[in-house]
Amino acid sequence: MIQLTRLNGHPLVINSDMVKLIEYAPDTVITLVNGEKIVVLETGEQILERIVAFRRRVLEGLQMNFSSWTSPKGEQTGDQEKRGTSEEGVQNG
């Protein structure tokens, strides 16, 4: 979600995944995937920066810990074998 400003100065928050198109004519017009058009004060560059920053925050929030994954055959991943642990975290002896 990103916060933008309507031409009348009122803030609005939109789901950035719904943005289909950003036009400059001469105001900035955002077209959503449902066909709705929104005119905002921000430039296209500012909108893109906010979308990228939002998506970075989302991706940084994901914990990319693949060490406990197993293969489709139930084999341990390479990280588990290097550490000498099983899926349950018990030391192999």
In a domain, 31, yes or no: yes
In a domain, 32, yes or no: yes
The CA dihedral of 78, 80, 82, 85, to the nearest 10 degrees, is -160
Burial of 30 (0-12, 13-18, 19+ CB in 10 A): buried
In a domain, 26, yes or no: yes
In a domain, 36, yes or no: yes
Decide if pLDDT at 4 tops 80: yes
Q: Could you give the number of structural domains in the chain?
A: 1
Whether the pTM exceeds 0.85: the reply is: no
In a domain, 45, yes or no: yes
Q: Any idea what DSSP says for residue 16?
A: G
In a domain, 20, yes or no: yes
pLDDT digits (tens, 9 = 90+) for 58-69: 888 776 666 666
86 against 28, higher pLDDT? 28
Distance, in Å, from the CA atom of 42 to the CA atom of 20, rounded to the nearest integer, reads 16
Range of the domain at 9: 2-61
Tokens of 8: 């009348």
For position 29, which CATH number holds? 2.40.50
pLDDT digits (tens, 9 = 90+) for 12-54: 999 999 999 999 988 999 999 999 999 999 999 999 999 999 9
In a domain, 76, yes or no: no
